[in-house]
A and B are shown apart, each in its own frame.
Chain A
């Protein structure tokens, strides 16, 4: 257990559905991240939130919409996805202080998303 939970763990959706992925961290961290991991590809950073403010959007299509209502919760809203969006979606968080400590990211178990 890393202190970062993600729900659901598995999700199957059609191209016209709207769904949301949820991430919650119990570590008191102030930065949260969404990553995408497609089959046989390196992890790709999607979004970064720092103190609830989005600080990075890594050229992600608008069919992915993040939301960070507070520093403990992060959502990824999905709508009109494509089959190529099928992947493992990972959430991570990191603390705010200490040299080198800020960049230690703790990952959740991920949501395995399949778009039909």
Chain B
């Protein structure tokens, strides 16, 4: 699975958009980009995933660059409850390998 690089931490003001970047320059054509987050002392929570098109759901938007070497997770109106560690994961979908490897992620702190 391709390696990802994320900033260690970021801050965001409540009510503003939070833009979390992720670099995955070695991504291959059949690898998806997944985002999860983990609020302190809770289990990780799936947010969104995509292959090459931009994706949006009720939680966030995922913008993937045309060359697919980087992506940005956007929380349009961050709230204090969005404070969490955000993980960007790149991996092949399907097959017999179910392994999902979590790195260190980005600690997003939403400030009042």
Q: A99-B93, A100-B32, A100-B93 are in contact. Are A56 and B98 (CB under 8 A)?
A: yes
Number of A-B pairs, beta carbon distance below 8 Å: 64
The complex places the Cα of A10 from the Cα of B43 at a distance, in Å, of 14
B43–A2 touching, CB < 8 Å? yes
Q: A90-B43, A103-B34, A107-B44 are in contact. Are A43 and B91 (CB under 8 A)?
A: no
Q: How many chain A residues touch B (Cβ–Cβ < 8 Å)?
A: 27
Q: Which of A45, A55, A107 contacts B96 (CB 8 A)?
A: A55
A104–B46 touching, CB < 8 Å? yes
A105–B45 touching, CB < 8 Å? no
Complex interface: chain B residues within 8 A of A45 (CB): 99-101
Shortest beta-carbon distance from A86 to chain B in Å: 14
B43–A110 touching, CB < 8 Å? yes
Interface of B is mostly: loop
The complex places the Cα of A81 from the Cα of B2 at a distance, in Å, of 34
Shortest beta-carbon distance from A21 to chain B in Å: 13
The complex places the Cα of A106 from the Cα of B42 at a distance, in Å, of 12
Chain A residue, CB-CB nearest to B50:
A100
Chain B residue, CB-CB nearest to A33:
B98
B100–A107 touching, CB < 8 Å? no
Q: Does B15 contact A (CB under 8 A)?
A: no
Q: A33-B98, A45-B100, A94-B98 are in contact. Are A103 and B93 (CB under 8 A)?
A: yes
A90–B98 touching, CB < 8 Å? no
Chain A residue, CB-CB nearest to B102:
A43
Q: A48-B99, A56-B98, A103-B34 are in contact. Are A110 and B42 (CB under 8 A)?
A: yes
Q: Beyond A55-B96, A99-B94, A104-B49, list 7 extra A-B contacts (CB 8 Å).
A: A2-B43, A43-B44, A55-B98, A100-B51, A102-B93, A102-B94, A103-B98
Residue positions of B touching A, CB distance < 8 A: 32, 34, 41-46, 49, 51, 91, 93-94, 96, 98-105
